[in-house]
């Protein structure tokens, strides 16, 4: 295990205990999440060493890396994924050019972008996901962004859907994407939001804490600070409406051992309504950002 002595975003050295969560997917180990006193970023601390992280992804239940058709839950998941892909394409927009996706999973979104006319590059560290992307969609995903041999300032869009929360080196990652992005390019980052209604409702059972796979846990303010620090300014934020329901279903399962579908849908919808009318802190938030030349 590795204990961080500095906040991965602002480098402040004073944290407080925030919550303790169990890894419900793979190891059943307990992990501590701490909160930075300065920027309020949450991070899993201590966390597995980088070389040990891979083993926490080895599970058949880690659904985002599978393409199984078995069971109604997986089928429903696939329908939701289709709806999600359509809505992600809307966020990506109609412009065409070079698009880099970091964390492509099994490649469904990247494939849709390719078919829509983008020149695509997909990066995915999981061998199993890359093999599935090749087998199912004939997509060649690259293991590591450094192996993609992309030129500086070459990408019109760089997107990370539910990826930044997994990243061990926040600063290195944001610096890398800034380098690869054209000066007028756009980044799209989606992450869970620990200030959402569903997060507060499920507390340590909130599925999107997903320790230790999730190393960083953002809300809107902490993301704005992290991106500002790396030379970006947020131009738009959006909700991911279905995520609140999906995460609530997983959280019900963790909390009670049952899926309690109707209750989960209720909590998910309350989270969306709460976001719309009160806090704007949705279950998962999409951040659209541009380079900020005033900052650097």
Residue with smaller CB distance to Zn ion, 10 or 148? 10
| Min separation Cβ 230 and Zn ion, Å | 13
Cβ-based nearer residue to Zn ion, 38 or 85: 38
Q: How far apart are CA 246 and CA 209, in angstroms?
A: 14
Cβ of residue 10: shortest distance to Zn ion, in angstroms?
Answer: 3
Q: How far is the CB of 145 from Zn ion (least distance, A)?
A: 25
- SS3 at position 102: strand
Closer CB to Zn ion, residue 39 or residue 288? 39
Q: Pairing between strand 181-192 and 155-161?
A: parallel
Exposure of 128 by Cβ count < 10 A (0-12 exposed, 13-18 middle, 19+ buried)?
A: middle
Distance CA 123, CA 102 (A): 5
Interface residues toward Zn ion, by CB under 5 A: 7, 9-10, 12, 36, 38-39, 41
- Of 202 and 209, the one with the shorter C-beta distance to Zn ion is 209
In angstroms, give the least distance from the CB of 43 to Zn ion.
9
Q: Any bridge partners for residue 135, and if so which?
A: none
Q: Between the CA of residue 205 and those of 23, 108, 257, what are the distances in Å?
A: 10, 29, 11
Answer yes or no: are the C-beta atoms of 99 and 155 closer than 8 Å: yes
- Judged by CB, which is closer to Zn ion: 231, or 275? 231
Comparing CA positions, the residue from 177, 184, 127, 190 lying closest to residue 148 is 177
**Least distance to Zn ion from the beta carbon of 7, Å?**
3
Torsion of CA 120, 121, 125, 129, to 10 degrees: 30
In the complex, the smallest distance separating the C-beta of residue 48 from Zn ion, rounded to whole angstroms, is 21
| 213, 125 Cβ separation under 8 angstroms | no
d(CA 48, CA 23): 12
Output the smallest distance, CB 13 to Zn ion, in A: 9
Cβ proximity to Zn ion, 41 vs 286, nearer residue: 41
Q: Which is nearer to Zn ion, 8 or 275 (CB)?
A: 8
């Amino acid at each position: 295990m590795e204990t961080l002595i500095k906040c991965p975003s602002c480098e402040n050295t004073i944290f407080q205990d925030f919550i303790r969560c169990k890894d419900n997917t793979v190891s059943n180990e307990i992990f501590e999440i701490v909160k930075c006193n300065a920027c309020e970023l949450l991070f899993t601390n201590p966390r597995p060493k980088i070389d040990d992280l891979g083993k926490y992804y080895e599970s058949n239940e880690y659904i985002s890396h599978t393409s199984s058709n078995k069971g109604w839950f997986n089928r429903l998941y696939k329908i939701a994924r289709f709806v999600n892909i359509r809505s992600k394409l809307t966020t990506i927009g109609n412009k065409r050019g070079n698009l880099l996706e970091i964390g492509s999973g099994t490649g469904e979104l990247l494939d849709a972008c390719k078919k829509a006319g983008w020149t695509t590059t997909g990066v995915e560290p999981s061998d199993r996901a890359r093999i599935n992307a090749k087998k199912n969609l004939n997509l060649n995903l690259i293991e590591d962004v450094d192996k993609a041999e992309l030129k500086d300032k070459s990408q019109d869009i760089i997107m990370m859907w539910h990826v930044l929360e997994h990243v061990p080196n926040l600063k290195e990652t944001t610096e890398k994407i800034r380098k690869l992005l054209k000066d007028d390019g756009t980044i799209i980052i989606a992450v869970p939001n620990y200030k959402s209604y569903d997060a507060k409702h499920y507390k340590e059972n909130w599925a999107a804490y997903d320790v230790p796979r999730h190393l960083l846990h953002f809300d809107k303010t902490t993301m704005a600070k992290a991106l500002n620090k790396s030379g970006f300014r947020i131009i738009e934020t959006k909700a991911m409406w279905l995520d609140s329901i999906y995460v609530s279903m997983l959280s019900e399962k963790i909390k009670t051992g049952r899926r309690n579908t109707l209750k989960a849908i209720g909590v998910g919808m309350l989270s969306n309504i709460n976001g719309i009318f009160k806090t704007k802190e949705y279950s998962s938030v999409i951040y659209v950002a541009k380079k900020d030349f005033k900052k650097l």
